[in-house]
Amino acid sequence: MKAILLKEYGLPNVLEIGEVTKPIPNDKEVLVRIHSASVNDWDWGLVRGKPFVIRLFFGLKKPKINIPGVDVSGKIEAVGGKVSSFKIGDEIYCDLSECGFGGFAEYVCVPEKILSKKPPNISYNEASALPHAGLLALQGLLEKGKVKSEQSILINGAGGGVGTLGIQILKSYGVKVTGVDSNEKLDLMKSLGFDSVMDYKKVDFTDNGEKYDLILDTKSNRSVFKYARSLKKNGTYITVGGSMYRLFETLLLGSLISLFTGKKLSVLNLKPNNGLDQISKLVEEGQIRPVVDGPYGFDKIPKLIQYFGEGKHLGKIVVEIEK
């Protein structure tokens, strides 16, 4: 089968298109023919081997993961002998980050326990944009952020996958939402329902005096003390990604700041695929629909990972593995 191969760390141009053996599912797995996949921060980090913590988990000198890609949608072509919840022909989607990656290929074997059925009212391309970003938004805003009506909320990095899904999740809660991103993404953000938008190149939201009940941060490029200053009394700051230095800073100092100020600052520990059924329900009810940048062709994946790293994409970058 055709696959994107990672043989050494480096810039995305180190990736190769090659042929590998088609996998065979074990008793508790299904074989999925992948239709679509989306590009994530996992791919950007894994290909480069940066930050260094990536190498601690996936190989110091050479990557142990040979096929990147985590968010996929497709159709089941074979099932293991002990699989009971799915059958051949079922359309599924999921996040592969907890079972070895492998999304940038024609086929992948997936444990039954992490699969969800694709909502029937969206395409494969849209479904592949949901698992990682949708659950970062859902778990960050609802489970950890505990959103309440009439709150003032800010999403930093609002024009990407997490922000464009997050604003749609928030619409029914009666909250005021500010989005921060580049100027090129502001029109999209307004169209999705952000009450106000900021160009991060012109305005530093941690310095303009505005305060929020909840901040969801996908960039984490400021001091944790600046973020704390931007929170209202008893406010909450949650980061889901960004600078590893700033993530560690939040982990180390967040509890201390909380102790003295009552403000909560923390890093979201994403639980992959946990809540996908809830995401499916929101999709089926018409409350959310992913913003797709693409779809692009399979051979464009190396350039698209670079494109992701430059932060120029709108919503989620999606690739059609099978046309």
Tens digit of pLDDT per residue, the chain (323 long)?
999 999 999 999 999 999 999 999 999 999 999 999 999 999 999 999 998 889 999 999 999 999 999 999 999 999 999 999 999 999 999 999 999 999 999 999 999 999 999 999 999 999 999 999 999 999 999 999 999 999 999 999 999 999 999 999 999 999 999 999 999 999 999 999 999 999 999 999 999 999 999 999 999 999 999 999 999 999 999 999 988 889 999 999 998 998 889 999 999 999 999 999 999 999 999 999 999 999 999 999 999 999 999 999 999 999 999 87
Q: What SS3 class is residue 6?
A: coil
Q: Which CATH architecture has domain 133-267?
A: 3-Layer(aba) Sandwich (3.40)
> What is the rounded CA–CA span in Å between residue 44 and residue 277?
27
pLDDT of res. 244: 87
pLDDT of res. 99: 93
pLDDT of res. 322: 82
Angle at 162 between CA 158 and CA 163, to 5 degrees: 25
> What is the rounded CA–CA span in Å between residue 81 and residue 30?
9
Spatial CB neighbours of 203, under 8 Å, sequence gap ≥ 6: 180
pLDDT of res. 231: 98
The helix (H) or strand (E) run that includes residue 79 is strand 71-79
Q: What residue ranges do the domains of the chain occupy?
A: 2-130+290-320, 133-267
Topology adopted by domain 2-130+290-320: Quinone Oxidoreductase; Chain A, domain 1 (3.90.180)
Closest listed residue to residue 48, CA positions, set 290, 261, 308, 222: 308
The side-by-side arrangement of strands in the sheet containing 152-156 is 196-199, 176-181, 152-156, 212-217, 231-239, 264-267
pLDDT of res. 3: 98
Spatial CB neighbours of 30, under 8 Å, sequence gap ≥ 6: 76, 78, 79, 80, 83, 86, 92, 109, 110, 112, 115
pLDDT of res. 257: 93
Report the phi/psi class of residue 236: left, alpha or beta, with left for phi > 0 and alpha for psi in -120 to 50: beta
